[in-house]
A = this chain, B = another copy of it.
Amino acid sequence: MKKRISIRDLAAQLDVSVTTISFILNGRAEEKRISAQLVERVLKHVKEVGYRPNSLARSLRTGKSHIICLMVEDIANPFFANIARLIEERAYKSGYKIMYCSTDNSLVKTREMIHMFRERHVDGFIIAPPEGVDEEINALINDGRPVILFDRTLPQVSTDHVMIDNAASTYLAVKHLVAEGFKNIAFITLDSLQSQMQGRLEGYERALREHNLNFHIKEVAFTLDEENTIRHIAAFLQRKKEVDAILFGTNYLAIRGLKAINQLKGQIAPKLGIVAFDDHDLFELNSPSITAIAQPIEEMADKVITLLLNKLNSLNKKKPNQSVLMNTKLVIRESSKGAGPELTVVSRASS
């Protein structure tokens, strides 16, 4: 209804030029040697009429928006939701707003999103990228828009990264299961070539090889819905009766796997060792409580936003890219307790 007030109206009402007002509003009064009393008069009036500059116009003019785009695989996934929350909080404190969106790991959707955010002059990007968007992301970087990648890398893209040591995480988890006496450790993962999943697979295989144990790998199609994932996992477990422990590659695979195991009660080994990737609020309550590889979510969020703000504040100076590799923590609970520890002790600690 009511027409928004513009800087022009303000100028007319105050009998001052728009330039002056613009300078005052942008904190350049001193620099431009505008009298303190005028500054005060303007500020007072601005407050009275509740004027707020149109940020769209400002953005169009300056190319800046104070908005950061956060693209994750699925905002309903607790890992991403929590990290998004923390990033939003920290960004907000530094005067930035966050626009987030889910990529669904879809190349097409991600491309479209990148385009649309770029058009809207988003200042920087934090992305957990699907495979294949290397080109678009490079275009972004060449365009001078800072990009931080997290959770996974992209082969062709060179920029700041925040990652966990996936291979070391699964490696140590498997060692733990072996130490607990498990012999036939399965790895239930996704059929994904993404770097983080490949890393997890690598750690699993390396640990098994070191102990001369057999691989039991089940790759679930990424596109499968919950119900079908459960069915596939259940079928796998029924077929592989020898499996005595499972390492799950992602948080939702673990949950779906637990449901599958639940349905199979009595049909499979009663005391299956279990380790999940990503911790979960309810894992400690489960019986048995579930051992999990916990990602350092707070530190990751912190690092990601710090790196981005740094880049944002030193746009022209080409700094070398930083690649941050973080350690996970194996939270040991009841689900990975085995018959008893083996005697084999291996001293190699990291990947």
Q: Spell out A's residues near B (CB within 8 Å).
A: 1-2, 52-57, 59-60, 74-76, 78, 81-82, 84-85, 88, 92, 97-102, 109, 113, 115-116, 119-121, 142-144, 255, 258-259, 262, 280-282, 284-287
Contacts of A121 in B (CB 8 A): 56
Copies in the complex: 2
**Residues B85 and A119 in contact, CB atoms below 8 Å apart:** no
Given that A1-B144, A56-B59, A119-B52 are contacting pairs, would A102 and B85 also be in contact in the complex, using a CB cutoff of 8 Å?
Answer: yes
- Expressed in whole angstroms, the Cα–Cα distance for A52 and B115 within the complex equals 8
Do A76 and B78 touch (CB < 8 A)? yes
Complexed CA–CA distance, A81 and B88 (Å): 14
Contacts of A143 in B (CB 8 A): 1-2
Q: Chain B contacts of A54 at CB under 8 A? A: 60, 119
Q: How far is the CA of A121 from the CA of B143 in the complex (A)?
A: 25
C-alpha gap A102/B287 in the complex (Å): 33
CA distance A280 to B120 in the complex (A): 37
Q: How far is the CA of A60 from the CA of B9 in the complex (A)?
A: 18
Question: Contacting A81 at CB < 8 Å: which of B55, B81, B281?
Answer: B81
* Given A84-B76, A255-B281, A56:B119 Cβ within 8 A: yes
> A116 is contacted by which of B55, B85, B109, B142 (Cβ under 8 Å)?
B55
Contacts of A76 in B (CB 8 A): 78, 81-82, 84-85
| Contact in complex: A259, B286 (CB < 8 Å) | no
Measured between alpha carbons, how far is A143 from B116 in the docked complex, in Å? Answer: 26
Give Cα distance in the complex from A142 to B98, angstroms.
Answer: 27
10 example contacts (A-B, Cβ-Cβ < 8 A) are as follows A1-B143, A1-B144, A53-B119, A75-B84, A75-B85, A76-B85, A88-B102, A258-B282, A258-B285, A282-B282
Asked if B284 and A285 make an inter-chain contact with CB atoms under 8 angstroms apart, the answer reads: no
Tell me which residues across on chain B come within 8 A of A101, comparing CB atoms: 88, 97-98
